[in-house]
Amino acid sequence: MTSEEIKQSISMREVVQQYGIHIDRKGFCRCPFHNEKTGSLKIYKDSFHCFGCGANGDVFKFVQMIDNCDFKTAFISLGGTYETMSDNARIVANTKRERAKNERERKEKAEQEFKQELIHHIDLCRAVIEQLEPFSNEWCVCQDYLPRLLNAWQMKYENGEEIDELDVHRICREIRRKISS
């Protein structure tokens, strides 16, 4: 069993009770890590915190502290198993990790390029509107598309919403085509 599987299968309350510690209805008990008369150790679903001595952590940390052992010993005592990877499995895992990293980097780069393109075209439209004669063809194109670009910016970068990036790329191509002709 992995550490995540252990955390999902064993509650903090069960682990504490295995050590003979009584937990009241509100989830408090006397802290085994310091001397006290009233319960100051709060037991949550998957963690604990002592308001007296400050001890806190998950099921593994509790077992480590109460048994005075390392993580590996606590992990095994809670039912964990260590599996050694074969060379092939290690290569596959490393390859998957590398692919995931490359994909993340590719997405971040594409996102940065999209952001730069959007900024460039917003600035371009604003400059055209300021510099050209009102109601010229280029001025009208920018007057039409600038609100759509600003809306795309607001939705994506201020509100965190998903937008149709292909539509924004199409608008940018249209602006370039109509302004340069």
pLDDT digits (tens, 9 = 90+) for 119-138: 999 999 999 999 999 999 89
Confidence class for position 80, pLDDT limits 50, 70, 90: confident
> Which residues are within 8 A (CB) of 11 and not within 5 positions of it... i.e. 6 or more apart?
45, 46
pLDDT score at 32: 93
Does 84 have pLDDT greater than 70?
A: no
Distance, in Å, from the CA atom of 152 to the CA atom of 163, rounded to the nearest integer, reads 7
The rounded mean pLDDT for the chain is 89
Q: What backbone phi and psi angles, to 5 degrees, belong to 11?
A: -85, 160
Distance, in Å, from the CA atom of 24 to the CA atom of 16, rounded to the nearest integer, reads 12
Residue of 5, 179, 137, 181 lying closest to 80 (CA atoms): 5
Q: What backbone phi and psi angles, to 5 degrees, belong to 48?
A: -140, 160
Domain ranges, ordered by start, for the chain:
3-77, 103-180
Confidence class for position 161, pLDDT limits 50, 70, 90: confident
pLDDT digits (tens, 9 = 90+) for 91-101: 887 888 889 88
Residue of 51, 79, 52, 83 lying closest to 63 (CA atoms): 79
Per CATH, domain 3-77 is 3.30.540.10:
no
Confidence class for position 27, pLDDT limits 50, 70, 90: very high
What is the distance, to the nearest Å, from the Cα of residue 101 to the centroid of all Cα atoms in its chain? 15
Distance, in Å, from the CA atom of 168 to the CA atom of 181, rounded to the nearest integer, reads 20
Confidence class for position 181, pLDDT limits 50, 70, 90: low
Residues linked to residue 57 through DSSP beta bridges, in sequence order: 48
> Which residues are within 8 A (CB) of 10 and not within 5 positions of it... i.e. 6 or more apart?
59, 78, 79
Residue of 133, 135, 121, 131 lying closest to 175 (CA atoms): 121
